[in-house]
Structure 1
Amino acid sequence: MSNPSVLFVCVKNGGKSQMAAGLMRKAAGDDVEVHSAGTAPGSSVNALSAQTLVEVGVDLTGEHPKPIDPDLLSRMDYVITLGAEATVDPVEGPTYLNWDTDEPSARGIEGIERMRLVRDDIAARVDELTARLRD
């Protein structure tokens, strides 16, 4: 049996989905095939997102925002959207989940502190999913 596969999706594919993919790669290693994409990809990875990942041993060097590849989408086991703004037209096959991630800016928390809170929220969800996929 092949390893489970996960596609993380957000709108720009520059922040949350890149964070989730990087954290999943760290948590699951080669046990899970991991991808990220955006519904309207931006031009670069968010620098603060990348910086907070380096703090926990995840390097996004070489990553860039990507659109959703329909062929990739159809062969995924899980498609996880991060936030309500990202919507994916479902295809048969994957299990679809939405993670309404913590949004500290709603509480007036900005900058690197905001990104650390977002990272930690996503990391906890990734760890839970990794454990479930290994069972």
Structure 2
Amino acid sequence: MTAPAPRRPAVLFVCVKNGGKSQMAAALAAHLAGDALEVHSAGTRPGPAVNSLSAESLREIGLDISGEVPKGIDPALCERVDIVITLGREAVVEAPGVRVINWDTEEPSERGIEGIERMRMVRDDIAGRVRALVDELVDGRGSAETAG
């Protein structure tokens, strides 16, 4: 008799609109971890569409989120994930009993950097944090806490 496969760690990335940062983080995590990690994204107030510059910045590194649609937070999902990562200062999630970490990603627009250059900087910041998270959750090394 074969033992059941171990449960994959699960992560939920949350930003306000679920159109940019949380979608980027989810795509990067899914790419890096493959099937070893269950990845979700949501927004506290989902917008109408994925941010086109977010999608473009990911296409530059071979990832495609053009088919994604912003979605709200599913309370049942929040109860079963191992960790909730909020991205940005405005996204706040209450998830009793679940580890919640905020990644206050640098906002280049506060320094006058806009457009695709801004989005590349956001993407690269998130990518570094995602790598540390995947190391922690999948490989058992590193720390998501120190990544943010």
TM normalised by structure 1 equals 0.97
Cα deviation code 1:103-131 (max 9, x no counterpart): 10011100000000000000000001111
Segments of 4+ in structure 1 off by > 3 A?
none
- Higher relative contact order at CA 8 Å, sep ≥6: structure 1 or structure 2? 1
Distance 1:89 1:28 in 2: 26
CA contact (8 A) 2:50 2:66 kept: no
Q: Which amino acid aligns with 1:2?
A: R
Give the superposition deviation at 1:16. 0.2
* Residues 1-135 of structure 1 aligned to structure 2 (within 5 Å): 1-92=6-97, 94-133=98-137, 134-135=139-140
Distance 2:92 2:39 in 1: 19
Q: How many residues align?
A: 134
Distance 1:105 1:52 in 2: 16
Unaligned runs of 5+ in 2: 1-5, 141-148
CA contact (8 A) 2:29 2:130 kept: yes
- Aligned Cα RMSD in Å? 0.7
Give the superposition deviation at 1:91. 2.4
Unaligned runs of 5+ in 1: none
